[in-house]
Amino acid sequence: MAMKYLQRDETNTWHERIIIALSMLRYGWLVNPFSGHIIISFFTPSCKVKSLKLLRHGKTVGVERNEFMSNTSSNAILSKGGIEEIKEASHEVNNHMPDVILLAPLKRTMDTFRILQSQFTHHLPVIECTYMIGINNGVWEDKRLEALDEDNLYIFLQREYAHNIFVKSKDGDSWGDVFVRCSKLIHTVNREYKGKDILLISQGSIYQGIKILLHHSNKPWDGYSPNAMFSTKLCNEKSVGYGRVFRLF
């Protein structure tokens, strides 16, 4: 694959990078606006809740087709298999009920919650969290990984493998954009729900973003490959965990 320089609309602009760095600094994280490296310091926030877990939405039509999704694309709805995954996950949630649920305002996460709610044994407070939204893949939506042209495949590899957090698809998000939302999320749960058991219902990129901010991993897809990310076929790679509950803290 020929190497190329990233174009202006394939990265955050310098203005956007400064905004990302300043926004994260506001919540306690130091970010290098040149490299995007998140600097560990004595002032880096920690989690103050009793427990923080994330339930990833069930498999979607896009996942089963091995297609990229945006946050609102037509393939970003739960598949039949995804619905069954959430029904299974409801048993684990019922056995370890949180004090509050924070819910991402996307169709696949809202549908995930409705399935859970139908299986709950008692009522739980639910807060819709408008900034708990992960990667938006923009113009890549409805495409399979192998269908990306050379330029877009290069952008994808830069964003995920080279860990260039300012790379994005056209009209999409970078990991820098997601980190800002995740830092605000951690700040909110520390302020509003200190000492509480919290369950987030959201996307895999929110899970990965929080892991990085809490220094549980270094790159967005540590331990994964494109095949694991976009394929539901059985393989030796780590499952990306659709319909699973992950403990973050």
pLDDT in tens, 87-139: 999 888 888 889 999 999 999 999 999 999 888 877 888 999 999 999 999 99
Each residue of 14-50: b (16+ CB within 10 Å) or e?
A: eebbebbbebbeebbbebebeebebeeeeeeeebebe
Instruction: Tell me phi and psi for residue 195, to 5 degrees.
Output: 80, 5
Bigger pLDDT: 220 vs 194 = 194
Under 8 Å between Cβ of 151 and 4: yes
Tokens of 20: 């990302």
Which two tokens mark 174?
Answer: 């970078």
Query: Looking at residues 164-179, what average pLDDT do you find?
Result: 93
Percent of the chain at pLDDT exceeding 90:
57
- Cα 101–104–106 angle (5° rounding)? 140
Strand order in the sheet with 100-103: 126-128, 100-103, 197-202, 51-56, 245-247
Lowest mean pLDDT among 42-46, 71-75, 150-154, 209-213: 42-46
Whole-number average pLDDT of the chain = 88
Taking residues 165-194, what's their average pLDDT? 94
Give the number of residues written for the chain. 249
Kind and range of the H or E run holding 176: helix 175-192
pLDDT digits (tens, 9 = 90+) for 31-67: 999 888 888 777 788 899 999 999 999 999 998 898 9
Spatial distance between the Cα atoms of 127 and 70, rounded to a whole number of angstroms? 23
Instruction: State the amino acid at position 155 in one-letter form.
Output: I
Measured CA to CA, the distance from residue 71 to residue 75 in angstroms comes to: 10
- Three-class SS state of 139: helix
CA distance 144 to 147: 5
> Given this model, what pLDDT does residue 238 score?
60
In contact, 152 and 169? CB cutoff 8 Å:
yes
Looking at residue 2, its pLDDT comes to 44
State the pLDDT at residue 4. 65
Considering only residues 216 and 229, tell me which one the structure prediction assigns the higher pLDDT: 216
First-residue to last-residue Cα distance in the chain: 40
Residue 43: partners with Cβ closer than 8 Å, 6 or more residues away: 28, 30
Q: Which residues pair with 245 in a beta bridge?
A: 55
The residue that leads in pLDDT, 224 or 79, is 79
Give the whole-angstrom CA distance, residue 88 versus residue 243: 8
What domains appear along the chain, each with residue ranges and CATH number?
47-247 (3.40.50.1240)
